[in-house]
Structure 1
Amino acid sequence: MSRELAQLPLDLRLRDASRLAEYHAAGNRLARDTVEALGHDSGLTQPQVYLHGPGATGKTHLLQAACHVAHERGERAAYLPLSELAAAPPVAVLDGLERAGLVALDDLAAVVGVPAWDEALFGLLNRLRDAGCRVLMAAPEPPDAMGATLPDLTSRLAWGPVFRLEPPQEDDLRRILVERARRRGLEMPDAVASYVLRHHRRDVAGLLALLERLDLAALAEQRRLTIPFVRDQLGRSPVAD
């Protein structure tokens, strides 16, 4: 693997919480199950998966979760957040990845459309396929909307299954909040969960971060999760809407 990647230890780049069991699939069950199969190297005739969709749909979570699965199988996996690596020479970033069992390319939009990167990605996907390496990719748009300068790169991005991830709906988010509160030993009534959803940004990561803060505050103040208590905590929060 290249010197640039060697300076970024993989274990530090994967969030421990990014596990398949912690992904709230809702309408994305097939995508989640396909990613799991890819991580385990089982059940896929085409060992490449492309995920796209708006923010807060869990694309990064699934890419990192697949890498965790591969690691647990004793395999080498590489997770590349391309938005952080786009300024580096593409050949240096992508060199040697075919020696991994699984390669996860996140934030493709940060580099696709740049001629040098398109050439390098085209070569990489060919090498990965020849080596039998599994590939997982994520971007906001489907392959044919990415604006690649090479038509052949567009076709290679779509070599395997392509899934659009949908954001969780309000009922899904409410269930997530109530269930996660229960795991923490807290009771969150549906009315409180609904209040949170009306007054806080609606993405799973942000809601779970808020729940952690509410848990700590409730413990410190010996309070239950009521609307007045949550209202007070949201008023202190820099991320409250």
Structure 2
Amino acid sequence: MSPFAGQGRRALSDTIQYVFDFGTQAQHTFEQFVPGANAVTLGLVMRVAERVGEPQLYVWGAPASGKTHVLQAACQRMGAHGLPAAYLSLAEALHPGVLDGLEQLALVALDDIQAVMGLDAWEVALFDLINRLREQQVPLLLAADVPPSGLAVRLPDLASRLAWGPVLRLEVLDDAGKREVLRAHAQERGMELPDDVVHFMFAHLPRGLPSLLAGLEQLDRASMERQRRITLPLAREVLG
């Protein structure tokens, strides 16, 4: 029997915020993710999104390691099955009340949880949410820049809840993986990205993925505006 049988789309409380239609609007998908050394972690997150995995996973890693990508991809996969999912970055959430009612969903993904550690109201709200999700058998994905042991948690019971499930580290891609990401994004945009342009980008831009992808967007925009193919001369003009 399918793990989605009989689930349906539940009625959502009007108080729930930041619930997106991940079936059509997500910026990230599993297919876009280049795993590199993260194949095992990716596989476990994908199982959660198919409702056959762990009830709770904690993913941590450095900036640009792919935490936001895999969390949003899990929500997108759930949405593709017609089930409601929520992705929230707690670094951007204004009030712990945004966690109210999320147990009515089919998947909850909370990013940047380190941003609210040490804040009593947030810690209590997160502790209560984890308990409600476990009671309702709703899977939970958590992400932070450090493992649970590195969080500045004040509430001991929350510290234990955060380590309930597997704790997985996402490694930053090496240069070969970053080149693969660049080519995949270029292909999605219908761009031809010559090898010499890729080499130029790595030589003249910071090697973090955000900088490289921003450079790719600049090239795409310049190519359309100037009605020119993406070549090394154009890259030199646009990216310096």
* Fold in common (TM above 0.5): yes
The aligned counterpart of 1:186 is 192
Does residue 137 of structure 1 match 2:156? no
CA distance in 2, matches of 1:40, 1:101: 10
Q: Sort the Cα spacing of 1:186 and 1:158 in 2 relative to 1 into closer, same or farther, 3 A.
A: same
- Compared with structure 1, are the counterparts of its residues 79 and 180 closer, same or farther at alpha carbon in structure 2 (3 Å cutoff)? closer
Bigger fraction of residues in helix: 1
* Structure 2 contact 219–235 (Cα < 8 Å) conserved: yes
2:106–2:139 Cα contact (<8 Å) kept: yes
Residue 108 and residue 179 in structure 1: after superposition, are their counterparts in 2 closer, same or farther (change >3 A)?
closer
Q: Is residue 212 of structure 2 the alignment partner of residue 207 of structure 1?
A: yes
Distance 1:9 1:152, change over 3 A: closer
Shift of 1:180: 4.1
Q: Does 1:11 align with 2:21?
A: yes
Q: TM-score, normalised by structure 2?
A: 0.85
For 1:93 and 1:216, the matched residues in 2 are separated by 37
2:124 corresponds to 1:119: yes
Unaligned runs of 5+ in 2: 1-11
Whole-angstrom distance in 1 between the partners of 2:122 and 2:184: 43
1:55 matched to 2:60? The reply is no
Please give the alpha-carbon distance, in whole angstroms, between the structure 2 residues aligned to 1:179 and 1:75.
28
TM-score by length of 1: 0.84
SS at match of 1:163: strand
CA distance in 1, matches of 2:180, 2:124: 45
Mind listing any 5+ residue stretches in structure 1 that lack a counterpart? 236-241
Aligned-pair Cα RMSD in Å: 2.2
What's the % identity of the aligned pairs?
40
* Alignment map for 1:91-110 (pairs within 5 Å): 92-110=97-115
- C-alpha distance in 1 between matches for 2:194 and 2:119: 48
Amino acid of the residue matched to residue 142 of structure 2? M
| Distance in 2 of aligned mates of 1:82 and 1:4 | 17
Question: Aligned to 2:91, what secondary structure does the other structure show?
Answer: helix
Between 168-177 and 57-66, the greater mean CA deviation after superposition: 168-177
Q: How many residues align structurally?
A: 226
SS of aligned partner of 2:59 = strand
Partners of 2:64 and 2:208 within 8 A in 1: yes
- Distance, in Å, in 2 between the alignment partners of 1:181 and 1:79 is 26
Mapped partners of 2:74, 2:135: distance in 1: 21
AA of the residue aligned to 1:186 = E
Amino acid at match of 2:71: L
Q: 1:189-225 deviations in whole A, cap 9, x for unaligned?
A: 1x43122112113233442332233234335343442
Letter in structure 1 aligned against 2:117:
V
